Amino acid sequence: MSVNKKIIETEAAVPDSQSFNTVLYSGNGGTQSITGVGFKPDIVWIKPRNQVENHTLHDSTRGAINQLAPNATASARDQSNTVQSFDTDGFTTGSDNNTNKSGINYVAWCWKAGGGTTSSNTDGDITSTVQTSALSGCSIVKWTANGNAGVTVGHGLGVAPELIIMKNLDRAGYGWLVYHSAISPTSAIVLNTADAKTSGIGYFNNTAATSSVFSLGSDTFGNYNGDDYIAYCYHSVSGFSKIGSYTGDGNTNGPTVTTGFQPDWLLVKDEGTGNSWRILDSVRSTSNPRNNYLDPNTTAAEGTSIYSNVDFNSNNFQLKNLGSNYNNSGRTYLYWAIKNN
């Protein structure tokens, strides 16, 4: 084996060290450049921490000012006073209450995809626009639906996505549909509600995603003829991210979930009951137990509770509570863990 081939194989096995980061900032009510991300982000998800207000999500495929709210069913809209640009080390925001109100503290979760460079993907029945980071296991996919059951959409990852979070961009009243590989493709779950998974409707045509495409059913929630959609697709990357599930045991020394790295960000949802989604991170909670939580499906301000205690350890996270959001006995919980930049 040549030296060059060895180098290529080694680099291909190493996850992108500039793929995700969490930053905190205080609003100033004007225009503000937020730095410290460590890379130019392609997805920025912002939440006011000490105010009841919407989450807001922006990506470089739709353009910085085009806003979506992960907790709501509103269609996408241009908001010039929210995120205005994606910058070398972060992003710039205007004065909107969601992103930069004076006296309000904010958290921004930032992902890298393809650096804003998109391409046309013809792997599926529908031609999609994609940008992809193979090393970080992330792609942003945009397409126009045709309403036909079984239609496929190319995602560009080259590996089957384990998590797909998608939204109708054009039509209010249609929320965030989530595909998670730990539940059957005959089921789906919704990001903007606390509802349990829904089975039997066939949002994803009862078909598992492949290394090139994911499938859609005929239900208008995920496949409204003529409407534009966006999807954020992810797969686990060794040493950087892990998508999976665990079973709660109802103990204060609860399950230990192996990730292979020390998590810095954790999303959890009970698949079978009406418990809220929860996000914890190591920047808002700097030591164990991590318990400063935000709920992606609500406008609620940041909360702290002993029933949200989770330890982030060198190669796992451990539930240190018996709260229903993380550790009811016998319940199955979906999770997504990521290491910071």
Which tens digits make up the pLDDT trace of 107-151? 999 999 999 999 999 999 999 999 999 888 999 999 999 999 999
Across the range 148-155, mean pLDDT stands at: 97
In the prediction, which pLDDT does 187 show?
A: 92
Is the per-residue pLDDT at 202 higher than 90?
Answer: no
Q: What is the CB neighbour count within 10 angstroms for residue 2? A: 7
Across the range 330-338, mean pLDDT stands at: 97
The C-alpha atoms of residue 74 and residue 65 are separated, in whole angstroms, by 15
Contact criterion met (CB below 8 Å) for 22 and 281 = yes
Across the range 276-296, mean pLDDT stands at: 97
> What is the pLDDT confidence band of residue 294, given thresholds at 50, 70 and 90?
very high
Query: What mean pLDDT, rounded, does the chain reach?
Result: 93
Beta bridge partners of 105: 26
The C-alpha atoms of residue 24 and residue 19 are separated, in whole angstroms, by 17
Strands 128-133, 66-67: parallel, antiparallel or unpaired by DSSP?
Answer: unpaired
In the prediction, which pLDDT does 163 show?
A: 98
Which helix (H) or strand (E) covers residue 10, if one does? helix 3-13
